[in-house]
């Protein structure tokens, strides 16, 4: 299917738009009823998705029509439900974890601040995805704005994950314990190196580096909506891999030390999470199966729906090992997380991401690629 880069004018949107543009009484008979769904050549180019030929909603829609469309078979319906149902599941899970788990630690205790950061990131990214997919046909500018917010929420979630790792998972790794790592390096490699300074530098830089990556990823993904970007899906997949590198110590721990025996929950769920992410990235970049048979998967089964499903599975596994890390942390907390080191960082990130989005929303060029 040819991909068009320049947005057409209001009078070149196909037969549906032409019928809507007729003046009242211009025809001999009553006006033809509006088609509930449109084809790819009947909507502006900025709304067309690769290899999706039909199932497009009427443009522009009202907010009420957008909400009603979640119960109708369009090419965005399952994009909404594949994230709205997980949103409800995670709301229930975090609600039980914070308020109904029966722990001695109250929900407002400083030990739970990293979990609040992580939970807010998970819930926000699902909520923003639902919002973007439901209201993406309000107008061209609002479509771009909603997906900019979607990218920012993913960056926010990525940084929240790093905060949870930093306090709940990294302290329990032998890799980041100088009393264990230094003898290991000396015995295995024959290097007489004091690892304490290197580990201390790593601990000091984890959150600042993750913060910079979160902002940089949002900038790159917003730029990918402009016409100069030939491969937006590949670019976004690549840039969102960078914050996942903050979990590299867990992978190294499994290679250098017996993580499978020491912490089987972390080992199993960690590697299964990354398997789901690889599968999700494959569908997001390849545009399979609709690339193979354009038009067959317009409503059910296209790649973005599969991408949503496998992303949910990856976060579902992540919640398991973050929760396990919290249990281990509560047994012997090395130090109480500070407000500035958790919520303070998240608030600063919100301000920076807001400035990034403001800059891009002032730019008149918008492109459609999700």
- In angstroms, the first-to-last Cα distance of the chain is 17
Burial of 330 (0-12, 13-18, 19+ CB in 10 A): middle
Give the dihedral of Cα atoms 135, 139, 142, 144; nearest 10 deg.
100
Task: List, for residues 219-276, the tens digit of each pLDDT value.
Answer: 988 888 775 566 776 777 777 677 677 889 999 999 999 999 989 999 999 999 999 9
The whole-number pLDDT of residue 31 equals: 46
pLDDT tens across 333-348, in order? 888 899 999 999 999 9
pTM above 0.75, yes or no: yes
Q: What are phi and psi of 303, to 5 degrees?
A: -65, -35
- Ranges under pLDDT 50 in the chain: 1-32, 34-35, 367-369
pLDDT value at residue 188: 83
DSSP 341: I
pLDDT at res. 24: 40
Contact 59, 44 (CB under 8 A): yes
- CA dihedral sign of residues 269, 274, 277, 283: negative
Question: What does the CA dihedral 333, 335, 338, 343 come to, rounded to 10 degrees?
Answer: -40
Q: How many helices (H) and strands (E) does the chain have?
A: 13, 2
Return the pLDDT at 102: 57
pLDDT score, position 32? 44
């Amino acid at each position: 299917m040819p991909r068009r880069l320049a947005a057409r004018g209001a009078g070149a949107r196909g037969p549906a738009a032409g019928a809507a543009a007729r003046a009242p009484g211009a025809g001999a008979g009553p006006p033809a009823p509006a088609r509930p769904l449109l084809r790819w050549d009947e909507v502006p180019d900025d709304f067309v998705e690769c290899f999706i030929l039909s199932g497009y909603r009427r443009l522009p829609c009202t907010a009420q029509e957008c909400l009603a469309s979640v119960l109708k078979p369009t090419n965005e319906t399952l994009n909404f439900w594949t994230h709205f149902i997980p949103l409800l599941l995670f709301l229930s899970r975090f609600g039980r974890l914070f308020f109904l788990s029966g722990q001695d630690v109250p929900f407002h205790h400083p030990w739970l601040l990293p979990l609040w950061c992580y939970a807010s990131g998970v819930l926000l990214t699902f909520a923003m995805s639902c919002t973007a997919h439901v209201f993406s046909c309000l107008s061209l500018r609002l479509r771009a704005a909603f997906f900019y917010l979607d990218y920012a929420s993913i960056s926010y979630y990525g940084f929240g994950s790093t905060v949870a790792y930093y306090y709940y998972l990294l302290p329990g790794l032998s890799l980041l314990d100088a009393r264990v790592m230094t003898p290991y390096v000396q015995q295995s490699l024959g290097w007489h190196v004091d690892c304490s300074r290197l580990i201390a530098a790593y601990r000091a830089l984890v959150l600042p580096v993750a913060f910079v990556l979160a902002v940089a990823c949002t900038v790159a993904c917003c730029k990918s909506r402009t016409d100069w970007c030939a491969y937006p899906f590949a670019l976004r997949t690549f840039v969102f891999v960078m914050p996942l590198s903050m979990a590299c110590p867990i992978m190294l721990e499994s290679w250098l030390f017996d993580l499978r025996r020491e912490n089987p929950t972390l080992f199993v769920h960690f590697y299964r999470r990354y398997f789901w992410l690889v599968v999700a990235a494959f569908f997001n970049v390849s545009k399979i199966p609709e690339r193979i048979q354009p038009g067959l998967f317009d409503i059910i089964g296209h790649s973005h729906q599969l991408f949503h499903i496998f992303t949910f599975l990856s976060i579902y596994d992540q919640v398991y090992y973050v929760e396990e890390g919290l249990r281990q942390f509560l047994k012997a907390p090395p130090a109480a997380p500070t407000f500035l080191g958790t919520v303070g960082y998240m608030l600063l990130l919100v301000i920076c991401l807001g400035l990034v989005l403001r800059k891009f929303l002032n730019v008149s060029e918008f492109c459609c690629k999700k």
